[in-house]
């Protein structure tokens, strides 16, 4: 789901996912390097940010990193 498609902010989208399953790590793919302040990202429950231009290898690393943190 994207901000552009839904009109919802990344804060709201993250909250929607976490309301369904709080144990699911949230990965934000963003077109801009500085999407928000670090404290806003943490408050939103976002575990990792990657560029929307990331390669499949970058995305796989980000997902692996989130899953490893999850335990």
In this predicted structure, the answer to whether residue 1 has a pLDDT above a threshold of 60 is: no
> Quick one: pLDDT at residue 35?
66
In the prediction, which pLDDT does 5 show? Answer: 66
What would the pLDDT profile of 29-54 be if each residue is shown by its tens digit? 877 656 677 788 888 888 888 888 88
Q: What does the alpha-carbon distance between residue 32 and residue 28 come to, in Å, rounded to a whole number?
A: 11
User: What mean pLDDT comes out for the span 13-35?
Assistant: 81
* Highest mean predicted confidence (pLDDT) among 6-20, 26-40, 49-63: 49-63
Give the closest residue to 26 by CA, choosing from 39, 42, 9, 40.
42
Q: Examine the pLDDT at 66 and tell me if it is beyond 60.
A: yes
DSSP letter string, 4-39: HHH---HHHHHHHHHHH-TTS-EEEEESSS--S-HH
């Amino acid at each position: 789901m994207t901000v552009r498609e839904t009109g919802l902010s990344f804060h709201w989208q993250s909250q929607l996912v976490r309301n369904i399953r709080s144990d699911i790590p949230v990965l934000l793919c963003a077109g801009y390097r500085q999407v928000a302040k670090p404290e806003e990202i943490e408050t939103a429950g976002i575990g990792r940010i990657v560029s929307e231009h990331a390669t499949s290898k970058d995305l796989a690393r980000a997902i692996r990193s989130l899953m490893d943190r999850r335990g």
